[in-house]
Amino acid sequence: MFGKSIIDLENFSPDEIRLVLDTAKEMKKIIRSDVKKLPNLRGKAIINLFLEASTRTRTSFELAGKYLGADVVSINAGTSSITKGESLRDTLMTIEAMGVDAIVIRHKSEGAAEYATQVVKPVIINAGDGAHAHPSQALLDLFTIEHFKGHIDGLKVAIVGDILHSRVARSDIYGLTKMGAEIHLAGPKTLLPRFFNFDGVTVHENIEDAIKNADVVNVLRIQLERQQAGLFPSPREYARVYGINDERLKLAKDDVLVLHPGPQNKGLEISNAVTYGEHSAIHEQVQNGVAIRMALLDLTLNSGAK
């Protein structure tokens, strides 16, 4: 994977996904050790260009680069010259001129990461482009599922909520189906994709059908910032009909695993009790996110890796 830009899992082979998951397993040992430092990316420079809000993804890419010995600088929308009207192209070219090896980019527009690969040479890693893709999130979801379940193939995974605006759902669908899981999507009709035909994926309007006997329930955040008028029922209605609470979770398997990419709208798509309950792996997902991002940076930037 050396030199490869990471735009989505659509063009990842199952072998490449396997390689990332196995590498992340090794990286997780580093995160848990006393001295969190490897020399793998010493002398490399990484820019985190985050033009949309982020806590987990930005911080974990930053720490991942630092744990591997790279120099990492984060640029945020509010404090960059984008606020002065500088174009994305000029921003990317300015960063490139500083001699960086990789740009991790988050942007509100679908296609922004792909566009970056066309205008500059460093490795581009997509940290979320509009409603399109979020490959590192999907990989950390796969990693977390495999960690708790021992395997991914044959599992019934329900993805519930705002599917229409979710780059996490889209990348999860590619990653999970490639690794042999069966996916059930559910949410209000207005928040489901209108035309959807994907092998291994079933779409339900009724959330109970989707989570019945599920091994994993991935609860998505309602993307309040991406809603258009009329798509979203009232919060109370949403929580009542689609919210994941202990009662609804009883329909899933006894050992169901609950995921949420964060940030959570508590009491809307997920209850407090579920977030902090015995089935939740939400906290573990965050640590796994650092391991996955270390794996991606190492595999794409370290010529000694595969």
Catalytic residue numbers?
Answer: 56-57, 84, 106, 134
Nearer to ligand NCD by Cβ, of 40 and 171: the residue is: 171
Q: Does 261 bind ligand NCD (CB under 6 A)?
A: yes
Q: Does 134 bind ligand NCD (CB under 6 A)?
A: yes
Strand partners, 219: 160
Dmax (CA) for the chain in angstroms is 55
CB atoms within 10 A of CB 145: 27
Q: How far is CA 246 from CA 144, 148, 251, 252, in A?
A: 21, 20, 9, 10
Amino acid found at 98:
M
Query: Exposure of 122 by Cβ count < 10 A (0-12 exposed, 13-18 middle, 19+ buried)?
Result: buried
Q: Does 170 bind ligand NCD (CB under 6 A)?
A: no
Contact of 254 with 213, CB cutoff 8 Å: no
Length of the chain (residues): 306
Element (H, E) at 127: strand 123-129
Q: If you search the block for the tokens 């899933």, which residue do you land on?
A: 252
Nearer to ligand NCD by Cβ, of 12 and 50: the residue is: 50
CB of 223 to ligand NCD, least distance (A): 6
Q: For ligand NCD, which residue of 4, 18, 25, 56 counts as binding (CB under 6 A)?
A: 56
Q: For ligand NCD, which residue of 28, 167, 178, 184 counts as binding (CB under 6 A)?
A: 167
Q: Does 137 bind ligand NCD (CB under 6 A)?
A: yes
Q: CB under 8 Å to 135, separation ≥6 — which residues? A: 6, 7, 8, 9, 12, 126, 171, 175
Q: Does 144 bind ligand NCD (CB under 6 A)?
A: no
CB of 134 to ligand NCD, least distance (A): 5
CB of 262 to ligand NCD, least distance (A): 5
Nearer to ligand NCD by Cβ, of 162 and 302: the residue is: 162
Nearer to ligand NCD by Cβ, of 188 and 261: the residue is: 261
Q: Does 128 bind ligand NCD (CB under 6 A)?
A: yes
CB of 167 to ligand NCD, least distance (A): 5
* Site residues for ligand NCD per CB under 6 A: 56-57, 128, 134, 137, 167-168, 221, 223, 261-262
